[in-house]
Amino acid sequence: MNAEYPPAPCSASRDVLHGISIPDPYRRLEDPSDPEVLAWAAAQRQLAGEYLAGLPGRARLREVLREIIVQGPVASSVKIAGAQRFRVSRPRPGSPWELQIDRGSHDGWRTLIDAAALGANAILRRWVPSPNGRYVVVQVTSGGAEDTTPLSLIDTSTGDVLKTCASTRYSPVAWLADETGYFYVRRHDNRCGSGVYRHRVGTPTTCDELLAGDDDPMGRFHLALWQDRWLVITARTGTSRATRVSIADVAAGDSPQPLDLGGLSSAGVVVDDSGRILAISTATCEFGQLLVADPLPGGGWGSWRTLVEGREPAVLAAFALAPTDDGDRLVLLRTRDGYSELSVHEPRCGTWLLDADLPGAGTIAAIEPTDEPGVLALSYTDWIRPLGKWRLSLLTGQVEPTDPAPRALSGITVTRTTYRSGDATEVPVTVLAPAGPQLPRPAILTCYGGFGITIRPDYQPDGLAWVLAGGIMVIAGVRGGGERGRRWHRDGAGPHKLNAFADLHAAGDWLVDTGLTRRGELALLGGSNGGLMAVGAMVQRPGDYAAVVSAAAPLDMVRYERWGLGRAWREEYGSACDPAALHVLLQYSPYYTVTTRSGEQAQPFPAALFSTGDHDTRVPPLHSYKMVAALQRDCAAPVLLDVIAGKGHAGGGHDAAEALISLLAFIAHHTGLRLETPEAAGGDRQPPPRIEGHGDGD
């Protein structure tokens, strides 16, 4: 295919910050209402669609992907409320999810409500039944946008929507035991900020009682109600890990009072049936330890003491109390380089009793109570096994499937190991490869590397389809994530962000040095912060990579605070208002790096595909717009912009499977993975389609 890039609206805009002149030639692309911007984006979408549709191997990928999705989950774990059970399910793999109810009769599972009844292009996100199942609260996103996730109260006897609050965004919900009301989080009606409110069923939301809140537009609240009495509220600013915790005796009508936990992580606080407070703290242990405070006879709690010590290098992620026939058990969930470990302890003194015998090296995605004492329901998945429902015996540690165990994909080997970064830091890495002898193969390298988020084993169609087609998928746990504790995050964030990029480059070097791939067969793939990592690495060392795919990534790191949730990321990235932080931002901001080179001879950047949703309210598409325009002016390789209608940051849009096929076909084409027949996988490079001309509009 021969084509020219659509000319982008261009100007001589620039900022001068702390004495530094910063060019911004494509600032006009920041305005989504500008007719020229709309026309440019539409032309880019058409160009990308034609190019991607013409790539070879799409039929093969479609066939492989269909088999992977068929084996995927069709129902969630079950939530029990009184005599009723709730779950979300879908009639067939790939179809929309719907909320279902089992009333305990012979009718079995019946549809209570599907997302379409709650809005156009709605997607079910959260659902919380009341204690006896009379009501259920449901939250959805609409058209992919996440600036609001309306909270709807549904009568389960009729399926009628009784009330909807449009001022919520992924709100936690805690029901009172008598089902007369619940606590939740929403934006204030007449001022900036948000807070924790109490809603009484049957009254308008305008009458809801505010318990805690502030005027901070970046403020975030979480809540949990324990023993139908103790309301624990955790507050944070943006994505900061610093937390403020308060607790209220709502049965007595008391207001929330500060609770000093001295370094609490974001994992939560529990008040048990004897009035003890249990909490995870990282104040003196980077990997987390479990603290406990005992209630005092006159009210309040005594000093904190350690109940369960940390277990370096496993990160204490969560804990729960569960009943058995001979008393409660304390269940601890840890992650070791992202892989789940589950242990059972005596709750009074924290003594270890046993480790759960998990189905494999994977992820515990959810832990739910059951109506059977001593048994918990687990949702488990790993790299090659779909999400499934399992039961854990707290007395033996044995884990068994509740239904026929999901079948693990055959023909794929999973290898966990480490490599050395440039400063000798040991970095965890997982390699998914076709079974059989080790050969150099086209490789996709991905990471997340930010916000203390850990990439956990998950049954992901993109990576699995790539491996079954003959390539290898590599997941690097670079600094900035949470794979190895709080310090691991800090060492790849803010002023230390360049460590994360160094770790990613070192992963690519390791793959080539060990013979797993060749330099011309190595691609980078990332979404959100992972997309920033991929594109940032590309512009730092463009000759090292054959292709790059970025999805919904922040890429203009000088002006990122102006859009979407950018203001919430200041602690993670630093602010351009700070001279020291700006100095670091300019060293890895992909857009800045490319624009400062504009006008030079065509740069040796690899082929690049930028995917973005037109309804993304976290990372607006303007980031991808500006980056694509800058690259298309000076890059000799194809640079494409795929704008997906109706898609937000966390899903939405149509034909998700086809978008994934396009992504994989693009990478295969530019790394030399042949897709026409299984026998040809890993063979000679195919001649690429051509895009000629580099347009730069005035």
State whether 518 and 615 are in the same domain.
yes
Q: In whole angstroms, how large is the CA radius of gyration of the chain?
A: 26
Which sign does the torsion angle of CA 215, 220, 225, 231 carry?
A: negative
3-state secondary structure of 44: helix
Tens-digit pLDDT profile for residues 318-365: 999 999 988 899 999 999 999 999 999 999 999 999 999 999 999 999
Give the residue among 434, 537, 521, 401 at the shortest CA–CA distance from 476.
537
Cα–Cα distance for residue pair 571/247, rounded to 1 Å: 26
pLDDT of 238: 86
Of the candidates 576, 653, 652, 639, the residue with the CA atom closest to the CA atom of residue 603: 639
Residue 280: which of 260, 301, 263, 302 has the closest Cα?
263
Instruction: Kindly report which listed range (60-64, 262-266, 331-335, 376-380) carries the lowest average pLDDT score.
Output: 262-266
652, 615 contact by CB (below 8 A): yes
Non-local (6+) Cβ contacts of 251 within 8 A are 228, 229
Taking a C-beta distance cutoff of 8 angstroms, is the pair 459, 386 a contact?
Answer: yes
CA distances from 9 to 244, 363, 531 (A): 46, 46, 24
Q: Give 529-557 pLDDT, tens digit per residue.
A: 999 999 999 999 999 999 999 999 999 99
Query: If DSSP codes are grouped into helix, strand and coil, which group holds residue 226?
Result: strand
Q: At what angle do helices 461-468 and 58-70 cross, to 10 degrees?
A: 120
Q: Is residue 450 part of a domain?
A: yes
User: Which band of pLDDT confidence, cut at 50, 70 and 90, is reported for residue 679?
Assistant: very low
Residues 36 and 84 grouped into a single domain: no
State CA 571 to chain mean position distance: 18
- At 369, list the tokens: 């109570």
DSSP letter assigned to residue 133: S
106 plus 43 within the same structural domain: no
Structure tokens at 39: 């026309």
Work out whether strand 639-644 and strand 607-613 pair parallel, antiparallel, or are unpaired: parallel
Examine the domain organization and report whether 33 and 143 are in the same domain: no
Q: Any residues with CB less than 8 A from the CB of 696 and at least 6 apart, and which?
A: 7, 8, 10, 632, 633
**38-51 burial, b for 16+ CB within 10 Å, e for fewer?**
eebbebbbebbeeb
Closest CA to 498 of 554, 428, 443, 421: 421
Q: Do 41 and 142 sit in the same domain of this protein?
A: no
| pTM of the complete model | 0.92
Residue 473 is assigned to a structural domain of this protein: yes
Give the rounded distance of the alpha carbon of 352 from its chain centre: 32
| Cα–Cα distance measured from residue 603 to residue 130, given in angstroms and rounded to the nearest whole number | 59
Last residue of a domain, one of 137, 162, 187: 162
Residue type, 570: R
If one counts the domains in the chain, the total is 2
pLDDT of residue 696: 34
Per-residue tokens: 443: 């490789």
Distant-in-sequence, close-in-space partners of 106: CB < 8 Å, separation ≥ 6:
none
Q: Do the Cβ atoms of 41 and 644 come closer than 8 Å?
A: no
Confidence at residue 106, expressed as pLDDT on a 0 to 100 scale: 78
Q: Distance from CA of residue 386 to its chain's centroid?
A: 18
Query: Of the given ranges (78-92, 224-238, 366-380), which has the lowest mean pLDDT?
Result: 78-92
In a domain, 548, yes or no: yes
Q: Are residues 32 and 157 in the same domain?
A: no
Enter the tokens of residue 36.
């020229």
Q: What are the angstrom distances between the C-alpha of 651 and each of 125, 614, 618, 644? A: 11, 11, 12, 10
Distance CA(632)–CA(416), nearest Å, equals 38
Among 102, 128, 162, give the residue marking a domain's end: 162
Write the DSSP string, 323-364.
EETTEEEEEEEEEETTEEEEEEE-TTT--EEEE-B-SSSSEE
At 693, the pLDDT band (50, 70, 90 cuts) reads very low
Calculate the average pLDDT of the chain: 91
Question: Are the CB atoms for 70 and 660 separated by under 8 Å?
Answer: no
Helix axes 35-53, 622-634, angle to 10 degrees: 70
Q: Which domain holds residue 635?
A: 14-21+28-67+409-680
Question: Structure tokens of 303?
Answer: 């000093």
Residues 480 and 463 in one domain: yes
Inter-residue contact 624 to 591 (CB < 8 Å): no
What would the pLDDT profile of 585-621 be if each residue is shown by its tens digit?
Answer: 999 999 999 999 866 566 789 999 999 998 889 999 9
- Asked, for residue 197, whether it belongs to a domain, the answer is no
- Torsions phi, psi for 658 (to 5 deg): -70, -35
Q: What is the 3-state secondary structure (H, E, C) of 672-690?
A: CCCCCCHHHCCCCCCCCCC
217 is a domain residue: no
Q: Of 162, 182, 216, which closes a domain? A: 162
Q: Quick one: 56 and 86 in the same domain?
A: no
Same domain, 34 and 120: no
Is 113 found in the same domain as 42? no
Q: Is 182 a domain residue?
A: no
Q: Residues 34, 153: one domain?
A: no
pLDDT at 562 over 60: yes
Name the residue among 506, 496, 311, 379 with its Cα closest to residue 88: 379
Residues 96 and 34 reside in one and the same domain = no
Say whether pLDDT at 143 is over 50: yes
Q: Is residue 3 part of a domain?
A: no
Check pLDDT > 80 for residue 654.
Answer: no
Residues 169-181, mean pLDDT to the nearest whole number = 96
Q: With a cut of 80, say whether residue 427 has pLDDT above it.
A: yes
Domain with residue 444: its CATH number is 3.40.50.1820
Minimal CA–CA distance to 415: which of 335, 503, 339, 492?
Answer: 339
Does any domain span residue 9? no
Q: Which residue has the higher pLDDT, 646 or 350?
A: 350
pLDDT in tens, 384-421: 999 999 999 999 999 999 888 888 999 999 999 999 99
Quick one: DSSP state of residue 280? E
Mean pLDDT of 165-177: 94
